[in-house]
Structure 1
Amino acid sequence: MSANGNQTIQGLVGEALRESTDLAQKEFALFRNEMTQNVRTIFIGLAMVVVAAIFAIAAIMLFTDALVNWLATVVHSEALAALIVGGIMAVIAIGLGLYGRHAMSASTLAPQRTVRSLKRDAEVLSERVTG
């Protein structure tokens, strides 16, 4: 009777392993399908952002032209109006570029919270060792 009991236990363990393997394969297939869908969604979103950027650039060009035309009526010189608007836009571009460069600097991107946490952990460990 113990042989039948062992065989039954072995059979149950084998069945459980097969079902676990089947479940893992199905879970992996679900994961793969979900990730494929997520990648598609990301690419669609990225395409929409690119199209939006193109429309934004066109809008900025139209607004700039309208601003130059309006300013030309105020200062009575189209060239001076273009220089004023161009200068203001250059200052804005330089400011945004400098801010972006600063935001991407190595010191800004360093994992500061992790470094602080590691230092704190090292201090606690050294206190426990010495104290």
Structure 2
Amino acid sequence: MQIREDRSLPSLISDLTQETYTLVRKEVALAKAEMSQKVSQLGSGIASIAIGGAVAFAGMLVLLWAIVNSLAQVLPADQAAWLSPLIVGGIVAVIGLIMLMKGKSNLEAHNLLPQRTLNSLQRDKDLATEHKNMAKEQFAKEQTR
């Protein structure tokens, strides 16, 4: 970035103030947008947990029904009457557990950080440091004239 030599210090400070104000406004807008996205992600995670819990509950009901039927039916010829609900219940329970784990991972803290905003703030800090150093250099040049 090239700084014009004919600009006065008050002009530079005025520009810096205006640009800082604009930057802060844009950062706030970015943070709002990103937090809105994170709230949506949070809602999705909660919904996955709720649905996973309901599916796992249904699976447990089927498994319990299968266990009851298996105990009631002792004869090998009757295995088909309890084996099929057992298989179905096991599959439903596994699906529910997978959904619960997915929902839990969506709720982990590192997934909820506004990472783009944090990265943008770091870039802004680096840019501000660079501008500060450039302003110091220009001020030093003006002082030596």
TM-score for both structures, normalised by structure 2: 0.45
TM-score, normalised with respect to structure 1:
0.50
Q: Which has more helix, going by share of residues? A: 1
